[in-house]
Amino acid sequence: MNPAQQLIADLQAMNARLEVKRGKIALDAPTGIVTPVILRRLKKLKREIIVELQQPAPVCDSAPCPVDFAERAALIADGCGISQQEADQRTAQEYGQPDFDSLCSETVTGWKNRLAACDPYVIDWRHAAMLAALIAFCDEWGLLAAQMEWDATALFGIDPNAPYPDRQRHDRHGIAVQLAVSKLPGIRLVELTREQAVFQTATGAIQRASRFHPARDNAAPVWEAVDLQ
């Protein structure tokens, strides 16, 4: 699925309607769905979206695959501007409450898929190295992070207006990004709780990063921020 198809699917999953009228995109969406991030994606992918919308609908005998619980909850959280916990509750009302461990595993798979779908060289070689480090973080700490209810921005957030994370204020980074771009030799994550992440440097010094930081209010997960470059 290309970026235009993905955006169309995301909007349709949030009950938004897209069509082409007189060569322009007409969008009919519930209140609160069109966030600044989505609006910038629409502008960037305008031509590709128009091409996709003008394609004839495929003939298919089977019903479309439903969006999984984690993806649907993420779409609701982003589109409605609500917390992940509230989005999970709304999604549970639609789908029924899934097994918690299965939900956490699906969440981690979703993070990894979105990271893997990013163009590794959209900025420069350092971006490719950072993406590889973030995927490795998912493998080592992703399941625990999901169980501790860390959201994508708290883990993978960067400033969407800056071209590369090492030029930003570090307090705007998610904790996985902090770890990936840190210049401290030998720094590693040693503990993750619902409230904070604990890092240890090669010298044994301890650093802590809060799960909740006001500087991240304008941040976005790396896959959304990179899509805007």
Is residue 52 within 8 Å of 3, Cβ to Cβ? no
Token code pair at residue 15:
């009950």
Instruction: Give the span between the Cα atoms of 34 and 157, in whole angstroms.
Output: 20
Q: Residue 40: beta bridge partners?
A: none
Q: Is 149 left (phi over 0), alpha (psi -120 to 50) or beta?
A: left
Averaged over 106-125, what is the pLDDT?
Answer: 80
pLDDT at 227 over 60: no
| CA distance to 18, 85, 209, per residue, from 195 (Å) | 40, 15, 9
pTM of model > 0.85: no
Query: From the CA atom positions of the chain, what is the Rg in Å?
Result: 19
Domains of the chain: 3-53 (1.10.10), 121-227 (no CATH)
Q: Under 8 Å CB-to-CB from 156, ≥6 apart: which residues?
A: 111, 115, 134, 174, 176, 177, 221, 222, 223
pLDDT at 106 over 90: no
pLDDT in tens, 184-220: 889 999 999 999 999 999 999 999 999 988 878 888 8
Nearest Cα neighbor of 152 from 55, 90, 71, 80 is 71
Q: What is the pLDDT of residue 199?
A: 95
User: Hey, what amino acid is at 198?
Assistant: V
Residue 134 CB coordination number (10 Å)? 26
pLDDT in tens, 56-101: 655 444 444 445 666 777 777 777 777 777 777 777 766 665 567 7
Of the two residues 28 and 176, the one the predictor is more confident about is: 176
pLDDT at 163 over 60: no
